[in-house]
Homo-oligomer: A and B are copies of this chain.
Amino acid sequence: MKITVLAGGVGGARFLLGMRAAAPTDDVRAIVNTGDDMWLAGLRITPDLDSIMYALAGVNDTERGWGRVGETERVSAELAAWGVGWPWFTLGDLDLGAHISRTSWLREGIPLSTVVDRLTARWPLGVRLMPATDDEVETHVVVSDDGVERDLHFQEWWTRYRAALPALRFEQPGLAQASPAPGVLEAIADADLIVIAPSNPVVSIGTIMALPGIRAALQDAAAPIVGVSPIIGGAVVRGMADACLTAIGVETSAEAVALHYGARSAGGLLDGWLADDADAAAVDDLAAAGIATRAMHLWMRDEATSAAIASAAIGLGSAGRSSVR
């Protein structure tokens, strides 16, 4: 079976670990958000692609929740002495190996999708990673800082300010001119199942879907589309997606996010939706709206719980397709 997952960083990584375990003989492809990417210290940084690559390779720092395990920061200390980079955004030594390799290839004119192929070839990941686009689309956040509007790079807002400054809107210059990376539209068109990982619905999944051609490809896809709620009991599982949802006027609830994606039968994208048991009350409402919804434990505590969720998404996909469409 061909399974295509739309994914952001950490939530996407955990879900993909589960999908790999749940579907070991299937062809799993991940279309990964690149909206958090940036240039820093002359290096191209791709946080979501790296989080997923490291997690699937088993070299991620599970305790800290990001970056490489056994990481050190000797280079960063040097950069700080020269005032290069952002003091609040760590470039670990091991991590820099990827940043430098990636940047050297990009500077040679090699597209990001090929760069990702080269980087991921180092490990048997079991999932093919594809950047959503080879084009540079960065996310900026216009915030209100004591009543004054300021434009921040998404990473500055997210990592430096922990999304504490209220976001007025997101801006993604270049998005309208960007194209899906090679293979992305095909991976949507030829899939037997499409899953929206429990990632940030606005800046991760929203950015992938906003790339010209992707929403239409999803709507035209033969495969059922199943989403996994990133909201449990009215709160984000991890990160600060609630601040992003608020900025676009969507309530932080499993139901609201599902309705934000929309029922495929009503011009939206979802055939099915996995909500947490804590949000079971929304199941009937969403079913009435045309989204086959199942409630289950959605906390991805380890690979086993992630695999159970992935299995449920696969199950709902086959059920959802026949029941809803």
Contacts and interface: CB of A to CB of B under 8 A. Distances in A.
30 contacts: A41-B100, A41-B101, A41-B104, A42-B100, A42-B103, A42-B108, A43-B100, A74-B93, A74-B94, A74-B97, A75-B75, A75-B93, A75-B96, A75-B100, A78-B93, A78-B94, A78-B96, A79-B97, A79-B100, A81-B97, A81-B122, A82-B97, A82-B118, A82-B122, A84-B100, A84-B104, A93-B93, A96-B96, A96-B100, A100-B100
Interface in A66-122: 72, 74-75, 77-79, 81-82, 84, 93-94, 96-98, 100-101, 103-105, 107-108, 118-119, 122
Contacts of A84: 100-101, 104-105
Q: For the complex, would chain A's binding face be called helix, strand, loop or mixed by DSSP majority? A: helix
A93 B91 CA distance: 12
Contact of A101 (B77, B82, B107): B82
B78 A97 contact: yes
Contacts of A78: 93-94, 96-98, 101
Interface residues of A, number: 27
Nearest to A93: B74
A107 B13 CA distance: 32
A42 B81 contact: no
Contacts of A118: 82
A93 B81 CA distance: 14
A176 to B, nearest CB: 26
Contact of A107 (B42, B94, B105, B122): B42
A104 B84 CA distance: 8
Contacts of A96: 75, 78, 96, 100
Nearest to A106: B42
A118 B78 CA distance: 13
For the complex of A and B, 9 pairs with smallest distance between CB atoms: A78-B97, A42-B104, A84-B101, A74-B93, A82-B101, A42-B107, A41-B104, A42-B103, A75-B96
Contact of A82 (B42, B77, B81, B119): B119
Nearest to A96: B75
Interface string A45-70: 00000000000000000000000000
Contact of A97 (B77, B103, B107): B77
Contacts of A104: 41-43, 84
Given A75-B94, A78-B96, A96-B100, 7 more contacts: A41-B100, A41-B101, A74-B97, A75-B75, A77-B97, A78-B98, A100-B100
